[in-house]
């Protein structure tokens, strides 16, 4: 045993994790080496903090004060329309001077969708058959063309999909983007614990590691050198969005402008909840602090509460689209990421006593929306769900590939109809198989401004590009 390994064993034992080495001496050298390497990367102070969270439980006698938050609405009065006009120009100015970088959270696998690979590589285009990554890339290319500025793209991967993600980009020639403008970085993995606070094993020589949540994107952004790269490029704002939503517009002048005019540190987009029962977090204020309130944390009487117009008082559904200032991200990371840890308790498959067993365990995550509580100023913008939010989360049913493809076709066929152009025959679901390339147009006004277009027709439908 080397001196380094001896010290590591001592450190693990002092932290109450000596069991990790219990069977190490019996492992083949390559397996043992991998295990020792993983243990060497464990932050045992953080593990002890997580173990303390488990002992604390989650009960509290404090009844928080929960209130709705102000939202810049879709339906606007004259003063709001005037502000929106100024904001659009301010946003265009920020985009044109290259002050915006783009942070894509893409650490997930598409296994729930029946695809073996990164979720971003999943093909979602109803007519084009483009992947989720390609949709986002084409929107960034459109932004570069529209505003005449580079679009530095910070793609957060995970330990499980980083290599495959890099390969996918290379195989597709970075979707027409300059490779020098694409910065890959990986989020951290943290050990899962049992109910006694002991680190679990996933295999005979492998720790049970889990991603540290989407809040970890901010820590990884700083630790990887991406933040330094953004500083070097003169990036002031980060447009944050998730890979599973192909409708997310990364370069939105209105959103960026409202954020800029308010001198905000972090801002958010929301959509109106479909109904009170929709299981989505909502933006609101808890004891005066802006945050995202999880569905399960909102009392039933508040979920059902309505205002004088009959609309849900807590209807600002979070869609995980934000703008964060680079300086704010830097502040959040001084002395370690200043976001709280959340405990997810569930049964997990682990290696124990020479076999795989199921037992209660705990994973630990940080959430990016918790940073809202620390933002001195923030803007919450309501947007149309049909135009900006159709995530791919489930294999079937709501928020599935089928619903996302239908939403894309409905949106784009409405543009084609407005332009007086011919639609293809509808499918069995009554949806017209039409798709518009983001490089051609990002909205109906831009599509109409293009004049009469002839689509590329294939066996899937009509593609305008």
Q: Are 79 and 207 in the same domain?
A: yes
264 domain residue, yes or no: yes
Q: How much is the pLDDT for 58?
A: 56
Residues of the chain with pLDDT under 50: none
161 domain residue, yes or no: yes
Helical pair 78-96 and 253-261, crossing angle rounded to 10 deg:
100
The answer to whether 259 touches 251, Cβ cutoff 8 Å, is no
What's the pLDDT tens digit per position in 63-88? 899 999 999 999 999 999 999 999 99
411 domain residue, yes or no: yes
Q: Are 226 and 175 in the same domain?
A: yes
176 domain residue, yes or no: yes
20 domain residue, yes or no: no
Q: Are 238 and 216 in the same domain?
A: yes
24 domain residue, yes or no: no
Which of 367, 392, 417 terminates a domain? The answer is 392
Q: Are 381 and 442 in the same domain?
A: no
Q: Are 342 and 407 in the same domain?
A: no
Closest of 104, 368, 375, 373 to residue 266, by C-alpha:
375
The C-alpha atoms of residue 46 and residue 219 are separated, in whole angstroms, by 14
Which of 392, 418, 446 terminates a domain? The answer is 392
Q: Are 434 and 387 in the same domain?
A: no
44 domain residue, yes or no: no
270 domain residue, yes or no: yes
Q: Are 372 and 421 in the same domain?
A: no
What range does the domain containing 178 cover? 64-392
Q: Are 387 and 353 in the same domain?
A: yes
Q: Are 457 and 324 in the same domain?
A: no
Q: Are 340 and 280 in the same domain?
A: yes
Which of 392, 419, 443 terminates a domain? The answer is 392
User: What CATH number should be reported for the domain holding residue 136?
Assistant: 3.90.550.10
Q: Are 341 and 272 in the same domain?
A: yes
Q: Are 387 and 403 in the same domain?
A: no
Number of domains the chain contains: 2
């Amino acid at each position: 045993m080397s001196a380094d390994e001896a010290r590591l064993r001592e450190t693990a034992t002092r932290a109450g994790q000596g069991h990790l080495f219990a069977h190490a001496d019996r492992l083949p050298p390559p397996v043992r080496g991998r295990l020792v390497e993983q243990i060497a990367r464990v932050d045992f102070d953080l593990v002890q903090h997580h173990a303390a969270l488990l002992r604390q439980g989650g009960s509290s006698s404090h009844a928080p004060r929960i209130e709705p938050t102000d939202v810049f609405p879709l339906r606007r009065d004259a003063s709001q329309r005037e502000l929106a006009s100024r904001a659009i120009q301010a946003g265009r100015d920020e985009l044109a001077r290259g002050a915006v970088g783009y942070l894509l959270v893409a650490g997930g696998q598409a296994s729930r969708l029946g695809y073996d690979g990164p979720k971003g590589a999943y093909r979602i285009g109803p007519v084009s058959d483009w992947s989720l990554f390609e949709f986002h890339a084409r929107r960034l290319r459109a932004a570069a063309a529209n505003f005449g500025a580079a679009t530095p793209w910070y793609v957060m991967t995970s330990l499980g999909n980083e290599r495959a993600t890099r390969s996918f980009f290379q195989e597709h020639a970075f979707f027409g983007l300059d490779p020098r403008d694409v910065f890959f970085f990986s989020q951290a993995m943290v050990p899962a614990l049992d109910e006694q606070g002991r680190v679990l094993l996933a295999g005979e020589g492998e720790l049970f590691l889990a991603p540290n949540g989407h809040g970890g994107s901010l820590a990884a952004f700083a630790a990887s050198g991406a933040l330094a790269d953004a500083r070097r490029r003169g990036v002031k704002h980060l447009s944050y969005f998730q890979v599973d939503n192909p409708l997310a517009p990364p370069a939105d002048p209105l959103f960026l402008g409202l954020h800029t005019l308010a001198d905000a540190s972090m801002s958010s987009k929301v959509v109106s909840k479909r109904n009170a029962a929709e299981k989505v977090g909502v933006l609101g204020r808890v004891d005066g602090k802006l945050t995202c309130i999880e569905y399960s944390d909102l009392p039933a009487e508040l979920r059902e509460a309505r205002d004088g117009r009959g609309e849900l008082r807590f209807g600002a559904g979070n869609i995980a689209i934000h703008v964060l200032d680079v300086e704010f991200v830097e502040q959040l990371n001084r002395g370690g990421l200043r976001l709280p840890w959340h405990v997810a308790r569930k049964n997990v498959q682990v290696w124990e006593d020479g076999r795989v067993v199921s037992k209660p365990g705990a994973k630990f995550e940080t959430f990016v929306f918790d940073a809202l509580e620390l933002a001195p100023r923030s803007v919450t913008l309501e947007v149309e769900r049909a135009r900006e939010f159709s995530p791919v989360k489930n294999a079937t049913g709501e928020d599935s590939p089928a619903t996302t493809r239908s939403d894309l076709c409905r949106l784009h066929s409405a543009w084609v109809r407005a332009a007086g152009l011919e639609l293809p025959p509808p499918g069995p679901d009554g949806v017209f198989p039409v798709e518009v390339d983001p490089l051609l147009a990002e909205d109906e006004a831009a599509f109409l401004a293009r004049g009469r277009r002839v689509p590329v027709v294939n066996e899937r439908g009509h593609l305008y590009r």
